[in-house]
Structure 1
Amino acid sequence: MQAEVYDRLRAEIVAGEFDAGAPLLELVLAERYGTSRTPVREALRRLEQDGLVERGERGMRVRTRSPEEILEIYEVRIALEATAASAAAERRTEFDLIRIRSAMATMAATPTTDPRAMAATNRAVHEAIWAASHNGTVVDLLTRLNNHLTRYPATTLAAEGRWVEAQREHAEILAAIEARDRDRAAERARAHMTRARDLRLAIYRAELGG
């Protein structure tokens, strides 16, 4: 039951069914999911670790969003993505390359009418590159950072021209990894994520009405 409550609450927060800053009262959530308060308490604890909820003056609440947080998340993610790409260029195997190419092919075949599928296949490309780094700590940290970004549901890939641009940037990263060019792989990954950061900030400003 604990896992079920966690999965349901997490999905609803990511889907935007709870506003940023909305209180998450154990009793109310227990009634919502037809359970006791214990599974809810455990789910909230895990979601706090995921970065989706935070402690407020009156208990747990959906974590608020801000441009400062976007900058903080991307400051770290840009560095880690560059590290992952650099390590992948050094350590990748032929199987790693096959997995990255397969993920890229799936992304290319994804219809642009489905933003969620676009985001999922894009993440799969990144996860394949992370895996090719053969650095479990980097993979774990990047996964945690990505959890933070799930609270910003609009995908940057829906921006005009970004879908094609992102795939071209992925191809550049892959080419550097194939060539075992660590510096080039890191530089291309850094540029790719910097562009994503700038688009994420633009989306946030647009949501605020300017």
Structure 2
Amino acid sequence: MQADVYERLRAEIVAGVFDAGAPLPEVALADRYGTSRTPVREALRRLEQDGLVERGDRGMRVRGRSPEEILEIYEARIALEATAAGAAAERHTELDLIRVRAAQDAMAASSTDDPMAMAMANRAVHEAIWAAGHNGTIVDLLTRLNNHLTRYPATTLSSTGRWEEALREHEEIITAVGAGDREKAAELAGRHMTKARDIRLRIYREEIIG
């Protein structure tokens, strides 16, 4: 039951059912999901760890969004993505490369009509590269950072030309990883995420301006 409440509440926060800053009273959520307050309390605790909710003056609320936070998240993610790609170039196995290639091929074949499917396909490529580095700490940190970004619903891949550009950049990173070129893989991954940061900031500004 606790896992079910967590998944349902998380999905609704990511989908924008609850706006940034919206209060999340335990009693109301328990009624909404037809459960007691205990599973709700545990779900909120986990979501706080994920960075999706925060403690306010009157209890838990959906975490707010800001350009400063975007910069903070991407500052860390750029560094970690570069490290992960470099580690993948140095430590990958043949099976790792097969999995990375399969994820990239699946992304290339994905429909561009569904932003969520696009984001999931893109994430699968990144996760395959992370896994190829065989560093669980980096994978955990990048997963947490990616969870933070789910509060910003629009995907950067919907920006004009970004989907095709991202696929090309992935190909370059994968080539460097396969060649065992740690420095090149790290450089390309960092550049890839820097572009994503700039697009994310532009999307945020456009949403604020309306």
**Which one-letter code corresponds to 2:148 in the other structure?**
H
Alignment of 1:171-210 (within 5 A): 171-209=171-209
**Which one-letter code corresponds to 1:52 in the other structure?**
L
- Listed one character per residue, the Cα deviations across residues 63-91 of structure 1 (whole Å, up to 9, x for unaligned) are 00000000000000000000000000000
Identical residues among aligned pairs (%): 77
Q: Which whole-Å CA distance do the structure 1 matches of 2:64 and 2:178 have between them?
A: 40
Say whether 1:94 aligns with 2:116.
no
Per the alignment, residue 164 of structure 1 pairs with: 164
- Three-state SS of the structure 1 residue aligned to 2:154 is coil
**Which one-letter code corresponds to 1:187 in the other structure?**
E
Q: Could you tell me the TM-score, scaled by structure 2's length?
A: 0.99
Q: Which runs of 5+ in 1 are unaligned?
A: none
**Which one-letter code corresponds to 1:148 in the other structure?**
H
Q: Which whole-Å CA distance do the structure 2 matches of 1:149 and 1:132 have between them?
A: 23
> 1:45 Cα deviation (Å)?
0.4
> 1:111 Cα deviation (Å)?
1.1
State the superposition RMSD in angstroms: 0.6
> 1:50 Cα deviation (Å)?
0.4
Q: Which whole-Å CA distance do the structure 2 matches of 1:36 and 1:11 have between them?
A: 19
Per the alignment, residue 8 of structure 2 pairs with: 8
Q: Which whole-Å CA distance do the structure 2 matches of 1:38 and 1:117 have between them?
A: 33
Per the alignment, residue 32 of structure 1 pairs with: 32
Instruction: Report the more deviating stretch, 27-36 or 185-194.
Output: 27-36
Q: Which whole-Å CA distance do the structure 2 matches of 1:41 and 1:177 have between them?
A: 43
- Listed one character per residue, the Cα deviations across residues 15-44 of structure 1 (whole Å, up to 9, x for unaligned) are 000000000000111111111111111100
- Three-state SS of the structure 2 residue aligned to 1:54 is strand
Q: Which whole-Å CA distance do the structure 2 matches of 1:47 and 1:112 have between them?
A: 29
Say whether 1:105 aligns with 2:105.
yes
Q: Could you tell me the TM-score, scaled by structure 1's length?
A: 0.99
- Runs of 4+ with >2 A deviation: none
**Which one-letter code corresponds to 2:201 in the other structure?**
L
> 1:137 Cα deviation (Å)?
0.4
Q: Which runs of 5+ in 2 are unaligned?
A: none
Q: Which whole-Å CA distance do the structure 1 matches of 2:199 and 2:60 have between them?
A: 30
Per the alignment, residue 122 of structure 2 pairs with: 122
> 1:100 Cα deviation (Å)?
0.6
